[in-house]
């Protein structure tokens, strides 16, 4: 193959010229360096243009600590929440009805069994040493007139005390205590 050093097919024998068409290693290194530089410039320009376009999107969707905490929160199904609220409301209504039924049962109870004997058991373990009774049929606690200490007020911390009047059937407890020979 002829190259620029060939003169009409004559070769100058005094000079060593590369007669092949392949580039020299130095030329190859220079061409590779130029190509690498061009590729790096192109990639840098492309990345810069890409980030210029993505910057507004990334800023709008930035993961702030508040967003990260919101992402960590478990999914809550609204249907489940409404069902739980409905069931809770129904449970409260049912429990209120049960309390009323128990109170009605206690109010109707005569504290007498089927043989017309007293169904009141005596209780003696109170610090004021007054006898109390428990009906085994309605589970009512029959108490005397007594001081009651309420739980502290959650806002002020004030502790209130008041006198609770005797149970309507406390006379029955005193009668059972007298019958059993226990001081009331």
User: pLDDT grade, residue 5 (50/70/90)?
Assistant: low
pLDDT of residue 67: 84
Average pLDDT over residues 120-142: 95
pLDDT of residue 71: 85
Tokens for 45, please give them: 């320009």
8/66 same-domain check: yes
2/58 same-domain check: yes
**Residue 135: which H helix or E strand, with range?**
strand 132-135
116/173 same-domain check: yes
pTM over 0.75: no
Is residue 159 domain-resident? Answer: yes
**Residue 123: which H helix or E strand, with range?**
strand 120-123
pLDDT of residue 130: 94
Instruction: Answer whether residue 62 shows pLDDT above 90.
Output: no
146/173 same-domain check: yes
| Domains identified in the chain, total number | 3
Instruction: Answer whether residue 180 shows pLDDT above 60.
Output: yes
Is residue 34 domain-resident? Answer: yes
Higher pLDDT, 161 or 9: 161
pLDDT of residue 4: 57
39/81 same-domain check: no
Is residue 20 domain-resident? Answer: yes
Pairing of strands 146-149, 161-164: antiparallel
**Which domain range does residue 7 map to?**
1-73
pLDDT of residue 21: 73
Q: How far apart are CA 42 and CA 36, in angstroms?
A: 10
Question: pLDDT tens digit string along 76-106?
Answer: 899 999 999 999 999 999 999 999 999 999 9
170/159 same-domain check: yes
Is residue 140 domain-resident? Answer: yes
49/11 same-domain check: yes
SS3 content of the chain, % helix, strand, coil (to 5): 45, 10, 40
Q: How many CB atoms lie within 10 A of CB 23?
A: 12
Mean pLDDT, the chain, integer? 88
49/91 same-domain check: no
81/58 same-domain check: no
């Amino acid at each position: 193959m002829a190259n620029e050093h060939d003169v009409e097919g004559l070769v100058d024998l005094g000079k060593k010229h590369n007669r092949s068409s392949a580039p020299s290693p130095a030329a190859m290194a220079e061409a590779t360096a130029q190509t690498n530089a061009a590729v790096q410039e192109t990639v840098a320009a492309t990345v810069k243009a890409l980030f210029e376009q993505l910057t507004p999107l990334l800023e709008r969707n930035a993961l702030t600590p508040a967003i990260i905490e919101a992402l960590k929160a478990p999914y809550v199904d609204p249907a489940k929440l409404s069902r739980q609220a409905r069931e809770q409301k129904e449970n409260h209504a049912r429990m209120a009805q049960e309390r009323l039924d128990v109170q009605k049962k206690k109010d109707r109870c005569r504290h007498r069994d089927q043989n017309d004997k007293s169904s009141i058991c005596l209780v003696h373990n109170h610090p004021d040493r007054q006898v109390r009774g428990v009906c085994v049929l309605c589970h009512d606690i029959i108490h005397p007139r007594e001081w009651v200490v309420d739980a502290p007020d959650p806002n002020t911390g004030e502790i209130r005390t008041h006198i609770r009047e005797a149970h309507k059937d406390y006379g029955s407890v005193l009668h059972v205590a007298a019958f059993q020979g226990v001081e009331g």
